[in-house]
Structure 1
Amino acid sequence: MKLDPGIIGTCVSLGLAPFIMQFTESVLSVCFNTSLLKYGGDIAVGAMTILTSVMQFSMLPLQGLTQGAQPIISFNYGAGNIDRVKKAFHLLLRSSICYAAILWSICMFAPRVFIAIFTNNAELTQFTVWAMRIYMAASLIFSIQIACQQTFIALGNAKTSVFLALLRKVLLLIPLIFILPQFISNQVLAVFIAEPIADIIAVSTTAILFTREYKRLGKYESEAA
C-alpha cells in the first residue's frame, strides 16, 4: 500500500487548526505572564495561572461537543444531506451557547467557586475575582467561534479554520497584550482586557465568514434538489 500525498496533505491540513490552537496556548501563556509580572508582580501572575487553569478545564466539555459533532457533520456533508448538516450545526451551536452561558454566569456572579479549587489565600482570591470578571467577560460568545471553527473543519474548509485559529491568538491577542498597556493607565487591567477584546473581534469575524459558508450550503442544497 502506497501513501497518497493528496490524502495525507488533506489530513494534515484538517488537523493543523487544532494543533495551532494548542501550540499558541503555550506562547500565549508566556506573553501573559511576562506582561503581568512586569506590571502587576507575582500576585498578577498567580491570578493568571488560576485563570488559565479554569479556562482550560472549563473548555473541555465545549471541545467535546464540537469534536463529537464533527463526524456527524462531515458524514452528512459528504452524503449530500445538507439539511442534516444544518440541523447538526444548529444543535451544536445551541448546546455550546447554553454551556457557555452557565460557565459565564458562574465566572461573573460566583467566581470563588472556581478560585477556591486553587487557593485559599485571601489576597490572591480577591485579586483573581476581579481579574476573572474581566478576563472571562466574553466567554459567552467565544462558544460561537469554537462551534463555527470546528464546523469549518468538518466541512473540509481547513484554510478558514487555520486563519481563525491564528486570528484570535496570534494576530489579535498577543499584540494587544503588549499594545494596550501603552495606552491604558491601569496596565494590569489593560493586559487582562486584551482577552475579551480579542474574543469580540474574532467572534465577529468568524460570524461573518460562517454566514457566507452557510449561504454556500444553501446554494449547494438547492442545486442538489
Structure 2
Amino acid sequence: MSVSHGRAKQPRERNSILKKYYGLPSSTNEEQADPLDIDDSGFDSLKYFAKLVKEQPLSGLVKNDNILVGEMREIDGDMKTLVYENYSKFISATDTIHKMKSNVESMESEMGRLNDNVNSISQQCAKINQALEPNRTKIKQLENKHNQLQQLQFIFELPQRLERYMDSNHYDQAVNCYNRSRKLLDHYQHIPAIKEIERDCCSIMDKIKQHHENSDSDLGHT
C-alpha cells in the first residue's frame, strides 16, 4: 500500500492478507527493491518525499495525506478482522472451563483438554502477532508520513502567515512564528522548494526588522 504521483494503489485485497497469514505462496514474484514504494523493504522516505514535493502542488500533498489516513484505517480494519476470525479459539477454552465446573469426576480429562486448548491459543496468538507485525510497521510508517505532510503544509503556508502578521502590525507574533519554524526549515532544507520558501520568509523578516528599526528611530527623535 503506497502513494505515488498523487495516486494511490488499489487497496490490498483481503485474500492477500489471508495468504500471508496462512503462509500460502503469493501469485506474484519478488520484484527488485523500489525506494519509492512503501510496500517495499527498500523504501526510502527521504527520496520519496523529495520526489513528492518536487512533483506535487500543495493540493496534491493534502490529497495524498487524506489517502494515507484512509489506508491507515483500512489496515486497522484488516488487523481487527484477523483477530475476530480467530476468536473461536478463545471461546473453546471458555467452554472447557464450564465443562470442568459441571463434572468434577472428569477433572483430569478436562484439564488435558484445557491444556490442549491453551496450547492451541498460544500458537494462534503467535501466528496472529506474526501476521500483524508488517501491518504495525506499515501503520507507523504511514503515521510518520502523515506528520511529515502536515509539517510540509505548515511550511508552505508560512510566508502567507508571516505576511498577514506584518500587514496587521503583529510583528511579535511574526517573529515568534518564524523562530518556531526554524527547525522545520532546517530539517527540510535539502528540498529545493523549501529553500525558496525560506528565502521568502527571510525577505519578510527583513521588512519587519526594517520597520522596527524605523520605529525606534522615530521614537528617538521624539
- Which structure has greater helix proportion? 1
Q: Which has the higher contact order (CA 8 A, sep 6+)?
A: 1
Q: TM-score, normalised by structure 2?
A: 0.31
Q: TM-score, normalised by structure 1?
A: 0.30
